[in-house]
DNA sequence: TGAATATATATCGTGTACGATTTAATTTTA
DNA sequence: TAAAATTAAATCGTACACGATATATATTCA
């Protein structure tokens, strides 16, 4: 029981610190493009499937309307995406990549790839970590869903 | 190279999602105590070493003054810590746990322990994940420091 | 000692995050 | 079909998170 009480030994803190490091790495790599880290995640989601509704983007990047709405407004102002009411269901809004967003795909990916490689993270630990994180994340999510 | 371009395959996103799940778990477990997750991390830091300066807390929980200052002000208002200018060096501020904070230690730890156990995270994956996260975090931090 | 430098907080601006409420449009159903 | 329920965005309030600047106190050293 006492094992849980020390700051250094808490898994939450290890996740929190690593998340913070990723945030800093991406912030720095994306700065020249005038993009933030969560904004970049939205671009990635749209690259997998352009023209999503805001709600669908939210499901992909796990963000609610209170976060996404102002964020996408900013991305629109910065010329990364466009926003228009769906013709089919005019409650929903369709978000699409601009030409600028499509054209800068390679440059952005390269900047991030370089930043990641500079850290010297090994391929095997990359995938092992992904696997473990996925497992823990799913358990936590499942447990959270069951409570509601 | 193309491996890096999909959202699902990005380590950053796995960390981000897991961090978000921890945040939600702790938020829920700490809600009855009127404590947020980062505030709880500050309490943990003070339990390891009470009477730290704000700067020292910042080093432990990796937060800057722009975040910590208002946070600790809120924690003072909520009766978790006290704040007073150091007698030795009146630039620095000494943060100490209140009786309330000391007395609720067990109750809070129990609430979190229960929430974690409900998820069914195995002990071996807990420690394996800690190890991998620590390794990646250190590499990222080292790389970040070298750039400056 | 007095000016330059360093240090610890405090403050400010921007951008997430999230729960709760509001508004507008669509679907369900009585 | 009209009222009720649902849904998608938008808005609001609170709380991080961080870089930059300001302020007050200490320290250094010419």
For residue range A134-145, list pLDDT tens digits in order. Answer: 999 999 988 888
* Residue at B89 is within a domain: yes
CA angle, corner B34, sides to B30 and B35, nearest 5? 55
pLDDT of residue A104: 95
Closest chain A CA to residue B143: A119
Q: What's the confidence (pLDDT) of residue A6?
A: 67
Q: Which of B12, B61, B134 sits opposite A26 (nearest CB)?
A: B12
> Comparing A29-38, B3-12, B27-36, which segment has the lowest mean pLDDT?
B3-12
Asked if the model's pLDDT at residue A95 lies above 80, the reply is yes
Q: B131 in a domain, yes or no? A: no
Q: Which amino acid residue lies closest to nucleotide C23, measuring CA to C1'?
A: A91
Flag whether pLDDT at A103 surpasses 70: yes
Helix, strand, coil shares, percent, chain A, to 5: 70, 10, 20
**Measured between beta carbons, which residues in chain A are less than 8 angstroms from residue B30?**
none
Least confident of A1-15, B27-41, B125-139: A1-15
Residue A53 is part of which domain span? Answer: 2-122
pLDDT surpassing 90 at residue A148: no
**Cβ-based contacts of A139 with chain B (< 8 Å):** 119-121
For residue A147, the model assigns a pLDDT of 74
Task: Report yes or no on B127 lying in a domain.
Answer: no
Tell me how many domains chain B contains.
1
For residue B135, being part of any structural domain is answered with: no
Nearest CA-CA distance, residue A92 and chain B, Å:
23
Q: What's the CATH code of the domain at B29?
A: 1.10.10.10
Overall average pLDDT of the A53-79 stretch: 97
Judge: A116–B18 Cβ closer than 8 Å, yes or no.
no
Give the model's pLDDT for residue A1: 45
* Mean pLDDT of all residues belonging to chain B: 91
pLDDT band at B3 (very low <50, low <70, confident <90, very high): low
- Residues of chain A with C-beta less than 8 angstroms from the C-beta of B11: 22, 121, 126, 129-130, 133
Give, as ranges, the nucleotides of chain C with any atom within 7 Å of a protein CB.
7-13, 15-21, 24-27
Q: Examine residue B46 and state whether it is found in any structural domain, yes or no.
A: yes
- A47 vs A30: CA distance, rounded Å: 17
For residue B5, what pLDDT band results from cuts at 50, 70 and 90?
low
Report the alpha-carbon distance of residue A95 to residue B107 in Å, rounded.
46
C-alpha span between A11 and A3 (Å, rounded): 11
Residue whose entry in the numeric block shows the structure tokens 């950053």:
B12
Asked if residue B146 belongs to a domain, the reply is: no
Residue A56 within any structural domain of the chain: yes
| Residue A20 in domain | yes
């Amino acid at each position: 029981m006492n094992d849980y009480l020390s700051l250094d030994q808490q898994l939450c803190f290890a996740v929190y610190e690593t998340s913070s490091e990723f945030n800093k790495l991406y912030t720095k790599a994306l700065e020249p493009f005038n993009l933030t880290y969560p904004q970049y995640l939205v671009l990635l989601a749209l690259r997998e499937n352009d023209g999503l509704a805001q709600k669908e983007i939210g499901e992909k990047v796990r963000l609610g309307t209170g976060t996404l709405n102002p964020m996408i407004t900013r991305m629109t102002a910065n010329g990364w995406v466009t926003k228009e009411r769906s013709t089919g269901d005019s409650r929903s809004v369709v978000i699409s990549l601009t030409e600028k967003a499509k054209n800068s795909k390679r440059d952005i990916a390269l900047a991030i790839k370089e930043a990641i490689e500079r850290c010297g993270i090994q391929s095997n630990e990359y995938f092992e970590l992904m696997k473990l994180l996925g497992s823990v994340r799913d358990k936590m999510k499942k447990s959270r869903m069951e409570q509601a």
